[in-house]
Amino acid sequence: MHKPPPSARTTVRRLPERGDYDPATIRAILDEGLVCHVGFVVDGQPFVIPMGYGRDGDHLILHGSVASRMLRGVAGGAPICATVTLLDGLVIARSVFHHSMNYRSVVIVGRPELIEDPVAKMRALERLTEHLVPGRWAEARGPNDRELAKTQVLRLSLQEASAKIRTGPPKDDEEDYALPIWAGVLPYSPAAGTPEPDPRLPRGIEPPPYVTSYRRRRG
């Protein structure tokens, strides 16, 4: 049973049965993804910029240089739209028209807030690091004061968010099922490769297990 949409502007209208507003679904997609695309408007011109992110409870965490145009602009309270997409498969139909993709995606709209409290900022940076490489925060050198001063951190509430999910085989027109053309789904998923040590790494330092057995959670 899907939860009701949180607002008119996050209600999925095209193929509404694919919409899902359950916070658990939304969190699972965000936790598996790595890149979000952040949309914002500068002087009437829309921009969509790829960024890393993390999640802390019911907030998406974004960070970047204090010089970042997007972060500078939205730290003042400007609205943004953040999107995360997981591609699960290529849907190969009998007709060109019905080719598609299996996916899980999330769209969040809102006005991010700047995190200024030092404790909250450090926690947000931990969430960002742990989102990228779980287990890394405890081992890596933590941010120093100079690095903290150069970094802006924002949080965006997940209150106004929607998920949209497509699964399953192609949906061809009934008369096309008799055509002698292969159809089906080509599953697709990103995978980590073999770790490549930094050429400046001293001998004898082996990659930790959280690197050698890295994999994203499957929502």
Ligand X SMILES: Cc1cc2nc3c(=O)[nH]c(=O)nc-3n(C[C@H](O)[C@H](O)[C@H](O)COP(=O)(O)OP(=O)(O)OC[C@H]3O[C@@H](n4cnc5c(N)ncnc54)[C@H](O)[C@@H]3O)c2cc1C
How far apart, in Å, are the Cα atoms of 142 and each of 123, 135, 214? 11, 13, 21
Q: Is the CB of 70 or the CB of 107 nearer to ligand X?
A: 70
97 binds ligand X (CB under 6 A): no
Positions 47 through 86 that interact with ligand X (CB under 6 A): 47, 49-52, 63-65, 68-70
Distance CA 98, CA 171 (A): 6
Give least dist CB 52 to ligand X, A.
4
Give least dist CB 3 to ligand X, A.
29
Residues in binding contact with ligand X, number by CB under 6 A: 12
Residue type, 156: L
Positions 10 through 39 that interact with ligand X (CB under 6 A): 35
Q: Is the CB of 78 or the CB of 92 nearer to ligand X?
A: 78
Q: Is the CB of 143 or the CB of 170 nearer to ligand X?
A: 143
Three-state secondary structure readout of 58-125: CEEEEEEECCCHHHHHHHCCCCEEEEEEEEEEEEECCCHHHCEEEEEEEEEEECCEECCCHHHHHHHH
Q: Is the CB of 69 or the CB of 150 nearer to ligand X?
A: 69
Are the C-beta atoms of residues 33 and 73 closer than 8 Å to each other?
A: no
Residues of this chain that interact with ligand X (CB under 6 A) are 35, 47, 49-52, 63-65, 68-70
